[in-house]
Structure formats: structure tokens, C-alpha cells
């Protein structure tokens, strides 16, 4: 788990700013719509059921801490179900 989080930190640190500008925050599966499927996709990566390339790491990091964790999963689910804004 630590190695995965470290890899995502490096990937996010190296991501060009133009890439970040074209990404919809929370749309981790890149289908253009924020749904619970995005939260599920992030959860599957965080727990290791899917490879990290199956989500967009910048879009998945909705609390902007440069890590993709279960906190991001919960924030995406809260946004989809209640419209609660992302913290960043």
C-alpha cells in the first residue's frame, strides 16, 4: 500500500499543469460524468483490486493532497449523493 501511494505521489508531482487543467475533478474513470462508478473505480485501485492505470490519478485526488486514498473515495461518493463540494 505504501509503495502504491508513493508511486501516485510521484506521478502527481510530475503531472504537467496543462494535464491538470483539462481534467474534471472526481471523474476518475474518465467517462465525462461523475457517478458512484468513479468512487468504486478509485476504491478498487486503493485496495489493490485494479491496476492504478485504470483511473486518472489527478481526477481521483479530489482533496488535492497528492495521494489517492479512501478519503478521495468517500469525498467522491459524498459529492455524487449529496452535492457536497470537494475541499479543493
* Residue where the block lists cell 468504486: 40
| CATH 3.30.1320.10 for domain 2-82 | no
pTM of the predicted structure, to 2 decimals? 0.75
Q: How far is it between the farthest Cα atoms of the chain?
A: 33
Structural domain boundaries in the chain: 2-82
pLDDT at 17 (0 to 100) = 43
Q: Quote the pLDDT of residue 2.
A: 55
Q: Give pLDDT, residue 19.
A: 46
Cβ-proximal residues to 30 (8 Å cutoff; 6+ apart), any chain = 56, 59
Helix axes 70-82, 36-46, angle to 10 degrees: 170
How many other C-beta atoms lie within 10 A of the C-beta of residue 59?
23
Q: What is the pLDDT of residues 27-83, one digit of tens each?
A: 999 999 999 999 999 999 999 999 888 999 999 999 999 999 999 999 999 999 999
Amino acid at each position: 500500500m505504501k509503495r502504491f501511494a508513493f508511486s501516485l505521489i510521484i506521478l502527481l508531482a510530475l503531472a504537467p499543469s496543462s494535464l491538470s487543467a483539462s481534467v474534471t475533478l472526481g471523474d476518475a474513470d474518465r467517462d465525462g460524468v461523475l457517478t458512484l462508478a468513479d468512487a468504486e473505480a478509485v476504491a478498487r485501485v486503493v485496495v489493490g483490486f485494479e491496476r492504478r492505470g485504470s483511473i486518472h490519478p489527478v481526477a481521483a485526488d479530489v482533496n488535492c493532497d497528492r495521494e489517492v486514498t479512501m478519503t478521495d473515495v468517500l469525498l467522491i461518493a459524498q459529492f455524487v449523493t449529496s452535492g457536497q463540494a470537494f475541499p479543493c
